[in-house]
Amino acid sequence: MPFSSLGLSPALLRALSARAYTAPTPIQAAAIPAALQGRDVLGSAQTGSGKTVAFALPLLQQLAQVAAEKPRRARALVLVPTRELAAQVGEEFRNLAQHLDAPLKVSVVFGGVSINPQMMGLRGGTDIVVATPGRLLDLLDHNALTLAGVQALVLDEADRLLDLGFAEELARILSLLPAQRQNLFFSATFPPAVQALAHTLLQDPLRIDVLPTPQDRPDILQRAIAVDAARRTQLLRQLISQEKWSRVLVFVATKHAAEIVADKLRKVDIDAEPFHGELSQGKRTQVLADFKAERLTAVVATDVAARGLDITQLPVVVNYDLPRSTSDYTHRIGRTGRAGESGLAVSFVNAGTEAHFRLIEKRQGLQLPREVIPGFEPAETAPPAAAGTGGVKGKRPSKKDKQRAAARGD
Ligand code: AMP
């Protein structure tokens, strides 16, 4: 089915072909016609399914059809959990809007950077606001914008928004929106809190479940390599050079580990940078830009990078430390194999993390053979007492921890 059969305007079709999007993904094919008719949509979709375009196109088309009021007021609000996702979603809106007759203004606002340029940017009004909840509330407190003219609300990665402890911020924002509006709600998972939010927010929504089919399931080869905790960096170096990995996203459990592992890789001439919530926004943006432009071979990241980031043709993801949860595993490996490309996800497993990995496998319906790389045969047998063996130790973060992490942008 071509995009042209979905009822989209010629200006949007032109932008799609400029983006080289030839046919809609399943979620786009289902959501676009319904959203164009003004229906609420409840989409269950993983990142990589094309959901950004699925909500951006109908919003742009609807906004472009009606001239903006004077003064201009935000007419569409897109709430996202992280700064990086905000930047990415804003960019996609701008790309798709470029051929519209009447230009639409897209404002992207997120925390961790000075509020003043964002306040300046909102002067004279805007059409579309893509925001993280905390910064949006700060801007509202400064009277930098009003939500009274919002006709459409998108909640993107609703599960992640709630995971990060944004429930109170969301409730405040929702109370400031006009009751009459369209709601587009997307989430990869539907735990009870997300279901409850969807239930209160949506009116007779079109429910779209994009189950991965053999055609659109990301083509990700998953491997598990048995290696002692202390030898993981050496093994990583060897794999990068022997398997000729051009770019690899390495996940670790802590900011400290991200710094140390990146440092060790740099010492052996692998271009590597850490990526975590304590870096300045400028640094984070720079690292991502360098990675996307292939100026870096490795980025060593905490789970801040696991969701939402879209790095096209990222060939390899490594779980240097295992993720805490099965859903984090899904999101981490989902950074590769995006939009029909193939990818590789490698997990390092050692005596201390074997039981945890088995649990992840069970929940994922997986059974991966444990590879042993010559020269890296594991010697550990008992779970090591020392730290740094994976993301499985310690208590689960409390709600407060999550809120603090969210405030830092983790
Ligand atoms: P998302 O699920 O929104 O994070 O999108 C995942 C990736 O799919 C992004 O790199 C988009 O640029 C890409 N994408 C979205 N729609 C299409 C399409 N119809 N055809 C090809 N790629 C697409």
The CA 125 to ligand 1 mean position distance, Å, reads 29
Cα–Cα dist 3/9, whole Å: 10
Determine the atom of ligand 1 nearest the C-alpha atom of 49.
2
Report the nearest-CA residue for atom 6 of ligand 1.
48
Determine the atom of ligand 1 nearest the C-alpha atom of 23.
19
Report the nearest-CA residue for atom 21 of ligand 1.
21
Cα–Cα dist 92/101, whole Å: 18
**CATH topology for 219-408?**
Rossmann fold (3.40.50)
88 lines ligand 1 (CB under 6 A): no
| 3-class secondary structure, 158 | helix
Classify residue 41 as left (phi > 0), alpha (psi -120 to 50) or beta.
beta
Does pLDDT of 328 surpass 90?
Answer: no
Q: Higher confidence at residue 101 or residue 387?
A: 101
Task: Flag whether the pTM goes above 0.75.
Answer: no
Confidence of residue 307 (pLDDT cuts 50, 70, 90): low
Q: Which residues contact 389 (CB under 8 A, 6 or more apart)?
A: 229, 321, 350, 352, 353, 383
The residue to mutate among 1, 310, 311, 341, having the most atoms of ligand 1 within 8 angstroms of its beta carbon, is 310
Same fold, 3-210 and 219-408: yes
The CA 371 to ligand 1 mean position distance, Å, reads 33
21 lines ligand 1 (CB under 6 A): yes
The whole-chain average pLDDT of the chain stands at: 87
Report the nearest-CA residue for atom 11 of ligand 1.
50
CATH class for the domain made up of 3-210:
alpha beta
Report the nearest-CA residue for atom 12 of ligand 1.
50
How many Cα atoms sit within 13 Å of 30 on the Cβ side?
A: 20
Confidence of residue 14 (pLDDT cuts 50, 70, 90): very high
Does pLDDT of 111 surpass 80?
Answer: yes
Does pLDDT of 408 surpass 70?
Answer: no
The residue to mutate among 16, 25, 288, having the most atoms of ligand 1 within 8 angstroms of its beta carbon, is 25
Determine the atom of ligand 1 nearest the C-alpha atom of 88.
4
pLDDT at site 386: 46
Domain boundaries, the chain: 3-210, 219-408
